[in-house]
Amino acid sequence: MHSYTDYILTQLKALTEIDSPSGYTKEVTDYLTSEYENMGYSPKKTVKGGVLVDLGGTDKENALLMEAHVDTLGAMVAEIKENGRLRVTPLGGLNANNAEAENCRIHTRFHGTYEGTMQLTDASIHVNGKYNDTSRTFDVMEVLIDEKVSSKKEVEALGIMAGDVVCFDPRTTITKSGYLKSRFLDDKLSAAILMGYAKYLKKEHVCPKRALYQHFTVYEEVGHGGAASIPDGVTEVLSVDMGCVGQGLTCKEHQVSICAKDSGGPYNYDVVTNLIEAAKQENLDFAVDIYPHYGSDAEAALRSGYDVRHGLIGPGVYASHGYERSHIDGAKNTLLLLKSYLG
């Protein structure tokens, strides 16, 4: 599976280079559509904006849907301040502490893109005596536009307005020791893994007995990504997202994580059991954990009324919603678990 792992890393770099916070995902879904067509599939855009792919399979009455999301955290211009700086509101769970001093891009609706930096208001520590004591929230943060502007009128003349999307640099790095460091590994790493699995099926001429679909959702970070577009005959939804790494959990970045329960409740007992058995059968490096602050596309499907079993797996990711870290082995173990579990 080495060549497929290399492909996953290539696609991770490609996906993270495309700005795609929730609500601003057309470019990344256009890219996915093109890549799947090149592989020989017939992807379809959903009305909502996601990408749905039929991977084949004979049993259409007991189908399985894999879901990964390609929307990320970001921000939106809420106000142009009188001094020409921007007050923003977060898209998804972006944390102000993790956005400080990050380079960003302001995508206007009609007048191109501008660069900027997210900073604490009055960010010069030699001037601001309360710098260390100020709690970082979006009420005390602002985007400095990298243009010679110092008034609201000058910014408006650039074509910037409320509702424009602010995207942050991913800073994607792959180290010599195999660590993957980037913003938005949640969930572009697992999206790349699904692409790798689809490539494996096509290149190896594997026709699964069970009909398989993939759905790349575009509103997961705001809670309703997987709430629609499940094909007829699907009885199981498997969310392939990030596995949590942190205190009180056993998963590490080089492992695949199987989630037994998150903040929304337990995942289907039989699905979790079968995932564990599949991991053991292939002697994979895996962990089973309970995520304390988490929700998935699979749960969104259940809340929308779909009568399906559900599960959640993913490569271990540390520092979630910040500058995240995983490992090539975590991606490989996730791919191999999909291969083992889906047959």
Which residues participate in catalysis according to the annotation? 220
Q: Tokens 């492992």: give the residue.
A: 255
DSSP 8-state code for residue 129: T
Dihedral angle, C-alpha 192, 98, 225, 326, nearest 10 °: 30
Contact 269, 277 (CB under 8 A): no
Amino acid present at 183: R
At residue 254, what are phi and psi to the nearest 5 degrees? -90, 0
Residue 268, number of CB atoms within 10 A of its CB: 19
Residue 252 buriedness (CB in 10 A; 0-12 / 13-18 / 19+): middle
Nearest to 63 by CA among 267, 230, 297: 230
What's the length of the chain?
Answer: 343
- Give the C-alpha separation, 191 to 193, whole Å: 5
